Structure 1
Amino acid sequence: MFHPSALFLLVICSFLVSVTSVERAASLTKVSIYYESLCPDSIDFIRDELFPNYEALKDRIFIDFVPYGKASQSKSSNGEWLFRCQHGSPECRGNKYQACALAQKKGQDANVNFVSCVMSSADPSDSEEIRNCAVSNGFDWQVISLCYQGDRGNELLAQYGTRTHSLNPKLRFVPTIIYDDVFDQTLQNESLYYFVKAVCSKLSQPLPNICRKN
């Protein structure tokens, strides 16, 4: 049985850890990436800008993946979600698989590594490529597969669609990168080729070492 003072200290410590976690989350710069699984520009950004620089920036940013892009969605007469994607049904498949994987909430490192792996593969819409990337990064493929095949996958993709269609201004280019929920055209343009510079411009002191090199 806990001594009252020991129990009190445990409660205080738990509270302090919780407060620290909240404060840390609030201090991170949110980077929302609105992208498509088969979009060449999305592939280039994630493969050439996000992934190579992520390790040096990860302690200061929160990555928010939104796999949907210039798709559209509607419901059939029987209430099923229907999606049309810019690069055809294979892209819808790739988007939905990624949505199902991200729903496992494996953490930012796992998410970035998984998405980067898929987007750097020979075919980001191929289930075998996606499975390999999922398993190698600690995701449960059976859960992803069941999600994709069932209603859950459609609901997740529709939620990303709602977010994307609610953007102000409307999404006009894929990928669109938004910082702290506010679109800035200058930062958007810069992010595509100078991601580190764009991120560093949003950070407070002290800056990560990589910011001093760019």
Structure 2
Amino acid sequence: MKLSGLLPVFLLLWADRSSSGIQSHPKPSCRYPPSQWCRSLEIAIACNVQKQCMEVNATRSYQAVPPVSVTLYYESLCPACRVFITQQLFPTWTMLQDIMTVTLVPYGNAKELPSANSPFTCQHGEPECRGNMIEACIIQLTGHSAFQIIYCMESAADVLNAAQPCLQLYAPSVTWLSVDSCVKGSLGHQLMHANAVMTRALNPPHTHVPWVTFNGEYTEENEDKAMSSLFSSVCQLYKGVKPPACTGAPVRLNRGFC
């Protein structure tokens, strides 16, 4: 049972109880700092604060607040896309995954052709088309582990050669044979066609990659903010109670496009 995201409200409640003479201090055996008391039911029990954590959980006004939906339209070998994924998107998701979701659409500036033998052309050549399809198949086959695998690939010196070891590292139950079969078979083409349809449906149409939408919408203002500090953008767009991580100072990074 997960009770994360309750620290600010819980500490306020704990302070109020302490000031009124009601003792809510953890047992001496509690080995966790206050910032972790409501992180899980097991910790709450160990620290003798489960009642307070459950009370806070029951009175949360932001329970139904949806997470910020971030969709990235990108290319597997685009240098600017790789920088955005490895330096901004993945680190932000690592810190804020409780208040954001990430959708990856590997296609970007590719073109879909009527040819049966070579139905796609890509900005950075055939290797990128293969990289796009590998990542599309990984997203389809590995589910929750997909983002970690793609981050592993995009942060490697050789994106394509990193695919198999990254898959083995983060999704050992999924065989490389299944990914290879997807890439070489009809499923890979179907997934790339679906990504092409999604990319062509963008309104306004994309003019470069990385192209980022928030909650399904694109604005130049949001893109400017995302490219300089995605972390701050997600914190600002989230409508619920901000997690403790959002209190940090923004860090601005250089932007780039393909």
For residues 25 and 160 of structure 1, the distance between their equivalents in structure 2, rounded to whole angstroms, comes to 30
For residues 107 and 65 of structure 2, the distance between their equivalents in structure 1, rounded to whole angstroms, comes to 26
CA contact (8 A) 1:100 1:156 kept: yes
CA contact (8 A) 1:56 1:208 kept: no
Larger relative helix fraction: 1
For residues 55 and 32 of structure 1, the distance between their equivalents in structure 2, rounded to whole angstroms, comes to 16
2:51 corresponds in structure 1 to none
For residues 117-151 of structure 1, the C-alpha deviation after alignment (integer angstroms, 9 at most, x for no partner) is 01101122x2x311111111114322111000111
Pick from 67, 86, 90: which aligns with 1:28? 67
1:145 corresponds in structure 2 to 180
**Offset at 1:205?**
2.7
For the aligned residue pairs, the C-alpha RMSD in angstroms reads 1.8
Question: Compared with structure 1, are the counterparts of its residues 153 and 186 closer, same or farther at alpha carbon in structure 2 (3 Å cutoff)?
Answer: same
For residues 74 and 127 of structure 2, the distance between their equivalents in structure 1, rounded to whole angstroms, comes to 15
Pick from 97, 110, 114: which aligns with 2:149? 114
> Structure with the greater relative contact order (CA < 8 A, sep ≥ 6): 1 or 2?
1
CA contact (8 A) 1:81 1:158 kept: no
Question: Compared with structure 1, are the counterparts of its residues 119 and 24 closer, same or farther at alpha carbon in structure 2 (3 Å cutoff)?
Answer: farther
SS in 2 for 1:54: helix
For residues 19-63 of structure 1, the C-alpha deviation after alignment (integer angstroms, 9 at most, x for no partner) is xxxx98971211000010011110000111112222210011111
2:100 corresponds in structure 1 to 61
For residues 130 and 26 of structure 1, the distance between their equivalents in structure 2, rounded to whole angstroms, comes to 36
For residues 64 and 102 of structure 2, the distance between their equivalents in structure 1, rounded to whole angstroms, comes to 12
1:192 corresponds in structure 2 to 227
Letter in 2 for 1:44: V
Letter in 2 for 1:133: C
SS in 1 for 2:120: strand
Residues 166-185 of structure 1 correspond to what in structure 2 (within 5 A)?
166-185=201-220
CA contact (8 A) 1:99 1:157 kept: yes
Residues 1:129 and 2:162 aligned together: yes
SS in 1 for 2:213: strand
Pick from 97, 121, 127: which aligns with 1:84? 121
Residues 1:94 and 2:131 aligned together: yes
1:51 corresponds in structure 2 to 90
Q: TM-score, normalised by structure 2?
A: 0.68
Q: TM-score, normalised by structure 1?
A: 0.82
CA contact (8 A) 1:45 1:193 kept: no
Percent sequence identity over matched residues?
30
Question: Compared with structure 1, are the counterparts of its residues 80 and 132 closer, same or farther at alpha carbon in structure 2 (3 Å cutoff)?
Answer: same
SS in 2 for 1:37: coil
Q: Which has the larger radius of gyration?
A: 2
1:164 corresponds in structure 2 to 199
For residues 137 and 119 of structure 2, the distance between their equivalents in structure 1, rounded to whole angstroms, comes to 17
Q: Which sections of structure 1, spanning at least 5 residues, go unmatched?
A: 1-22
Letter in 1 for 2:218: F
Question: Compared with structure 1, are the counterparts of its residues 167 and 207 closer, same or farther at alpha carbon in structure 2 (3 Å cutoff)?
Answer: same
SS in 1 for 2:141: coil
**Offset at 1:176?**
0.6
SS in 2 for 1:34: strand
Letter in 2 for 1:197: S
For residues 141-192 of structure 1, the C-alpha deviation after alignment (integer angstroms, 9 at most, x for no partner) is 2211100011111110111011001101011120011001011111111212
**Offset at 1:114?**
0.9
